[in-house]
Each structure stands twice: as structure tokens, then as C-alpha cells.
Amino acid sequence: MKDFPHSLAQKLAARQEQNALRKLSLANQLIDFASNDYLGFAKSEAIFTATHHHLVTNNSMINGATGSRLLSGNHTLYPTTEAFIANFHQSPSALLFNSGYDANVGFFSAVPQKGDYILFDELCHASIRDGIQLSNAKAYKFKHNDFEDLERLILKFQASENQHSTTIYVVTESVFSMDGDCPNIEELVTVSEKYNCYLVVDEAHALGVFGEKGEGLVQFLGLQQHFFARIVTFGKGLGCHGAVVLGSEELSSFLVNFARSFIYTTGLSPHSVATIDIAYQALNTKAAAIGELKERINFFNQEKNRFSLKPLFVRSKSAIQSAIIPGNANVKHIAQQLQEKGFDVKPILSPTVPAGQERLRFCLHSYNTEAQISEVLYCLSLLL
């Protein structure tokens, strides 16, 4: 075997020197403040059993999709599941993708065209940025949740082009994955409609968290009709795999024809699609779990105040709570101490976040107890 390329070895060495080298770790038995399984659906025996029954009932006893959805992989569970999801989210159409990453890359690489503009929040997820990099449109970031800056950019590009022929896509997330904060969706709608922009939102961390049935923040606010597309992923609140793009029937047709991450990949297996279907049905019947999660979020915020930790944390009313502790070595050390005390709290290092913005990221769940929340924050207060 040839020697590992020197340029690659240098990059690994640099990560090691920065105390930022990523490594894979196995699952542990610590108290969970790390996973995105907000409602415990990933561990639900009821969902597991109901999924198996669903497959048997629908005579879908095969292990794989057998091909892309455009060839042999569009098995019968797909259209029924997409119809259920579209109805649940009050959307004309829903198109399933293999993952949130695939959905974002497929959408942003295919939909905005040459001559169009994409204006995206500077803290948007890597999958959105990767899709944008593959697009022929021009893309510019606006300051985080700063709609004055967004409006400045809109006016700039509309002035440089024919205002009536300029297509601008405005992109944000309803819950940002590293900060856990939310934009002012109502204000965003007002600005975008004032200038006839197309609104796109990633709701990955809002599904199962906001709304009476966990529909997401946009739908909770009753603003779904104002969005050109909503991208919802299932690896968080829904506890399974895959994603969906919600929008018009024309948008779904366009993605089927032009989104390369949809066209050129094997479809999800019947088991994966059945799990999505059953998990969505569980949202209709698990209002108690959604309510418990909201209570835990409120309690966590109260305890931050009690232990005088509020200044450390990014303001958040979501299941993601981030305490800024600068320095890779520093935040890793504190995370290790919390883990030694039995709490699975993960450090988020640069370059995942900007240098100086390293943090502990607490993920809250319906199954976390108030005693666990109090204890982990008490331990954190002693370590600072």
C-alpha cells in the first residue's frame, strides 16, 4: 500500500495540535444529554413492534428498495407515507429523501437557477451550505437572525437587476442546531413577502418539539402557506432516518426530475419508510411526551437561573441548550468531568463552531427527569 499523502497527513496533524481531531465513540450508558432523540422514539419498543406489523400487513417483507425510486425502488409504502406526511404538515405535496443531508443538497443544488440569488443565515447547517456550493445561483449570507441585514441585501440585488425578474431565495432554520435559538418567523415572512422572495426553512430540530403534535415551528405559528419549501428531517424528534421536502406538487415534480441526490441513489428500504410512517402516526398519539419535553425545556431554563449559569448559555426555548466555554481543551475537559459523573454531555469544538465559541451542547428529552437536569447543572456550576 502506498504511503498516506503528506498533504492529508499534515491536515490530520493540525487537527491533533488544535485538540480538535474527531474520533468515533461507541454508545454508552450515561444519562442522555447528547442525542437528538428528543421524544425517545428511537428507543421505542412500541414503534419497533408496530413497524414490523405494518410491514407484514402490507406484504413488504423485503430488506431493500432494490434500486432508485425512478427505477425499481418506489415501493408501495412510499406514496401512502408521503400522503400522510403531506396531510400532517398541511402541505400540497411531500417528497421523501434518504436523509436531511440528501434533501438539502438535492434541493439547493437543483432549485435555484443561474441568475437567481440565495440569501442564507450565516449559521445555516453544513448540508445547506454544501447544496448551495453546488448551485449555479449567486449566494450571500446575512447576519444571524438579522433581518435588517437581510433586507439590505435584498434591496442591493434587486437594484442591480430588474426587480420584477429577480428570483431571491431566503433560507433559514427554525431551530439552529448548534445554538438552539429560533428566528422571528413572523418578521421573516413580512420581509420576504414585501420583496416577493421565496422562503425556505429547515425544520430538522423543530419536528416533535414545537406544536401540539410536534408539527414544527412554522406550522405551530400557522405560517406554512407563506413558505416555498419546508425541509423536515427525521433523525431527531422522529427518532428514525430520512427527510421530506414539503411544498407544491410542481416543486416535488421538479425535484424528481432534477435533484441528483434523489435521482441517483437507492431508495429507502420498506422498513425505513414504514418506521417513518409509524413514527408520524405516533406524533398524533404521543401528546404527553411532547408536553413532557416542553416542561423539561422550561425547567432547564429555570435551573440555569437558579445556578447562576444563564450568562453562559445561548438564549433558547428549544431542546438544544448551549453553554459557551471557549477553547477546545477547556470545553473537552469540562465535558469529560461531567461524563465521569454519569452525564453524557458532548463538547462542540472549533472548527465545527468558530474559535472562541466552543461549547457544551445539552440536548433535552421527554425522558430526562427534573432531578437529572438539576444535578447536571449543579455539577457544571461546580466545574466553572
Provide the CATH number for the domain around residue 363.
3.90.1150.10
Average pLDDT (114-126) is: 97
44-97 pLDDT, tens digit each: 999 999 999 999 998 888 999 999 999 999 999 999 999 999 999 999 999 999
Is residue 230 predicted with pLDDT exceeding 80? yes
Query: What pLDDT is recorded for position 163?
Result: 64
Q: Which three cell numbers stand for residue 368?
A: 430526562
Q: Are 248 and 351 members of one domain?
A: no
In angstroms, the CA 319 to CA 40 distance is 13
Report if residue 8 sits inside a domain. no
Quick check: 350 pLDDT over 70? yes
User: What is the total residue count of the chain?
Assistant: 384
Q: pLDDT higher for 181 or 20?
A: 181
Query: Distances in Å between the alpha carbon of 335 and those of 132, 324, 345?
Result: 34, 12, 6
Residue 145 and residue 124 share a domain: yes
Q: Is residue 336 in some structural domain?
A: yes
Q: 313: which DSSP letter? A: B
d(CA 338, CA 332): 10
219 has a pLDDT exceeding 70: yes
Provide, rounded to the nearest whole percent, the portion of the chain with pLDDT above 90.
93
Specify the pLDDT at position 164: 63
CA 231, CA 221: separation in Å to the nearest integer?
A: 16
Question: What's CA 318's distance to the chain center, in Å?
Answer: 12
The parent domain of residue 248 ranges over 45-283
Domain boundary among 252, 283, 314: 283
Are 54 and 155 members of one domain? Answer: yes
272, 346: one domain = no
Helix then strand count (H, E) for the chain reads 14, 12
Give yes or no for a contact between 198 and 168, defined as CB atoms under 8 angstroms apart: yes
Burial 122-142 (b: 16+ CB within 10 A, else e): ebbbebbbebbeebebebebb
Last residue of a domain, one of 232, 263, 283: 283
User: Is residue 284's pLDDT more than 90?
Assistant: no
C-alpha cell at 53: 406489523
Contact by Cβ (8 Å): 200, 170? yes
Contacts of 318 (CB under 8 A, 6+ apart): 175, 180, 181, 182, 205, 206, 209, 210, 297
pLDDT category at 308 given cuts 50, 70, 90 is very high
112 and 213 housed in the same domain: yes
Q: Can you tell me which residue has the cell 445539552?
A: 362
Q: Are strands 168-173 and 198-202 parallel, antiparallel or unpaired?
A: parallel
**Is residue 227 within 8 Å of residue 215, measured between CB atoms?**
no
Which residues lie across from 205 on neighbouring strands? none
Clarify whether residues 229 and 267 are in a common domain.
yes
| 320 has pLDDT over 80 | yes
Residue 263: exposed, middle, or buried by beta-carbon count in 10 A (0-12, 13-18, 19+)? middle
The CATH number linked to 279 is: 3.40.640.10
Average pLDDT over residues 372-380: 98
Alpha-carbon distance 261 to 249, whole Å? 19
142 and 222 assigned to the same domain: yes
Is the per-residue pLDDT at 177 higher than 90? yes
Is residue 343 domain-shared with residue 356, that is, in the same domain? yes
Q: Are both 257 and 299 inside the same structural domain?
A: no
Using CA atoms, how far apart are residues 220 and 139, in angstroms rounded to an integer? Answer: 29
The answer to whether residues 309 and 243 belong to one domain is no
What total number of domains does the chain contain? Answer: 2
**pTM for this predicted structure:** 0.94
Same-domain status, 376 and 233: no
Three cell numbers at 99?
A: 436523509
In the chain, what is the straight-line distance between the N-terminal and C-terminal CA atoms, in Å?
A: 48
| Average pLDDT for 176-198 | 97
Indicate the average pLDDT of the chain: 96
The pLDDT of residue 160 is 77
Per-residue pLDDT at 383: 95
- Whether 252 and 309 share a structural domain: no
Number of C-beta neighbours around residue 95 at 10 A:
26
Sign of the torsion formed by the C-alpha atoms of 24, 27, 30 and 31:
positive
Distance CA 304, CA 316 (A): 12
